Amino acid sequence: MESMSVEIPDDSVLLQRAEVARYGDAVAEAGADGFHRGGAYHLSSVLPALTSALGAPVSTAIHHDPKVLQETLGIPDASSAIVVLVDGLGFWNLNKRLGHVPYMRSLMEDSLNQRPISTCFPSTTVAAMGTFGTGTCPGLTGMTGYTQINPETRELSQLIQFKHAPDPHDLQRQDTIFESLTRQGVRATSSGMPKFAASPLTEAALRGSRYVGHDDAQARVMAACTAARQPGLTYLYIRDADKVGHNYGWDSDAWIGAFEKIDAQLALLHRCAPKGTLIVIVADHGMLSASPRDRCDIAGHESLSEDVALVGGEPRAPMLYSTDQADAADIARRWHTALGEDATCWTRDEAVEQGLFGQVEERVEAMIGDVIVSAAGTATIVDSRVQSDKATRLPSVHGSLTKMEMDIPCLIDMA
């Protein structure tokens, strides 16, 4: 295949807000940089495309033609496939540190792998896992942010551990791709940490596969290779890029060390997977470095607290829930005035109309904030009244609409 290299834009370009990535099977027009974003080039299309590659196509409420997705992404047919999701490894994070990862660097020599695909908004793990696992969108899964209102109790629920949240099966009602494959008699296996085996997030977004848990990273890779000896789909989750990025910064030495270990795991997967196994590597979101000088604390701005009962979402994508009788448009205007170029603000109706959450079910509308805020540049919007000091000062973050956060890799390899 043709070999070339990816030109990395200046940070000023990568920190610009990307166009909202649309959902569906169509191919969107290429942007000024030549990349297509959204449609078939989307995280939601990856598993449906893989079902087509396996000869057991699964359509979803968003994606109706898995074969078109497979062809658009350039995924070859195979009897067995392993899909790897590397938490927090954005397309530009990868390319900016490509010299540290010989295996992924070899994949990036293939022109097929030299384009990003888009994640969902908000560009965060909860929303992205639901989007990935079901092949749909946050507006259908009900997983619209790190924290969101529980319509039954009117309190904030946190969807990593599902604190104060509805039952995961009640919240997320879309069939997962794994459930659909299992009903067809196709093997579906997940390899991950034991503590995630029956976690609420796994039940919501990834249920339906046989889960194999190991504490050791190498053992998880080998378990995926063992599963791939049988026809079907294997899922492998790697979390360290996100975890280390939040704690130390994605551009820190600690992150580079974790990045190198991730590459070693992926290289081991390539070496040990049965010959002819299809390998696809994606991520849930990218990361950017937060600027302390662009940190806005709601607690210090009376105008930002006015008429706001709860602040959900996260520092790059807050969702504001208004008090009774408050006007969401007034809140959005007030926030726009206070934040200026540091954020874009929409009312819920505007956000839904623009497709930020994809297709939105009526029951899910009540979970989305009355006002949606998307941070620009390197800004963060925090609330020290309810968040720990550490949570308000994370060195690297994600959740908003910049290319650094929204562009993710889709690397295709064959063992």
Q: How many CB atoms lie within 10 A of CB 299?
A: 15
Q: Could you report the per-residue pLDDT of 187-200, keeping only the tens digit for each?
A: 999 999 999 999 99
> Does any domain span residue 5?
no
What is the structure's pLDDT at 3? 47
Q: From residue 262, give the alpha-carbon distance in Å to each of 214, 222, 265, 268.
A: 16, 14, 5, 10
> Does any domain span residue 32?
yes
> Does any domain span residue 157?
no
| Residues 63 and 106 both lie in one domain | yes
Query: Nearest Cα to 313, choosing from 400, 388, 379?
Result: 400
Q: From residue 64, give the alpha-carbon distance in Å to each of 57, 258, 278.
A: 10, 38, 23
> Does any domain span residue 303?
yes
CATH number for 368: 3.30.1360.180
Q: Could you give the CA distance from residue 37 to residue 53 in angstroms, rounded to a whole number?
A: 22
DSSP calls for 241-284: HHHHHHHH-TTSHHHHHHHHHHHHHHHHHHHHSPTT-EEEEE-S
| Residues 222 and 273 both lie in one domain | yes
Number of domains making up the chain: 2
| Residues 67 and 115 both lie in one domain | yes
**Which token pair is 356?**
């930020």
| Residues 194 and 285 both lie in one domain | yes
Regions of the chain where pLDDT drops below 50? 1-3
> Does any domain span residue 159?
no
CATH number for 275: 3.40.720.10
Give the domain range for residue 34: 11-136+174-289+402-414
**Which token pair is 326?**
């408050």
| Residues 248 and 307 both lie in one domain | no
**Which token pair is 394?**
């994370």
Cα-based torsion angle of the residue sequence 239, 242, 244, 250 in order, rounded to the nearest 10 degrees: 140
What is the structure's pLDDT at 4? 57
| Residues 407 and 336 both lie in one domain | no
Q: From residue 295, give the alpha-carbon distance in Å to each of 292, 298, 332, 393.
A: 5, 10, 19, 8
| Residues 246 and 310 both lie in one domain | no
Rounded to two decimals, the pTM is 0.97
> Does any domain span residue 144?
no
Q: Could you give the CA distance from residue 348 to residue 337 in angstroms, rounded to a whole number?
A: 18
| Residues 69 and 113 both lie in one domain | yes
Q: From residue 166, give the alpha-carbon distance in Å to each of 86, 143, 204.
A: 27, 11, 11
| Residues 118 and 201 both lie in one domain | yes
> Does any domain span residue 45?
yes
The set of residues, in sequence order, having a beta carbon less than 8 Å from that of 112 and lying 6+ positions away, is: 1, 74, 412
Query: Nearest Cα to 81, choosing from 269, 257, 300?
Result: 269
Q: Could you give the CA distance from residue 294 to residue 19 in angstroms, rounded to a whole number?
A: 23
What is the structure's pLDDT at 228? 98
What is the structure's pLDDT at 2? 45
| Residues 213 and 300 both lie in one domain | no
| Residues 341 and 376 both lie in one domain | yes
Q: Could you give the CA distance from residue 177 to residue 58 in angstroms, rounded to a whole number?
A: 7
| Residues 365 and 342 both lie in one domain | yes
The set of residues, in sequence order, having a beta carbon less than 8 Å from that of 206 and lying 6+ positions away, is: 129, 133, 176, 178, 190, 235
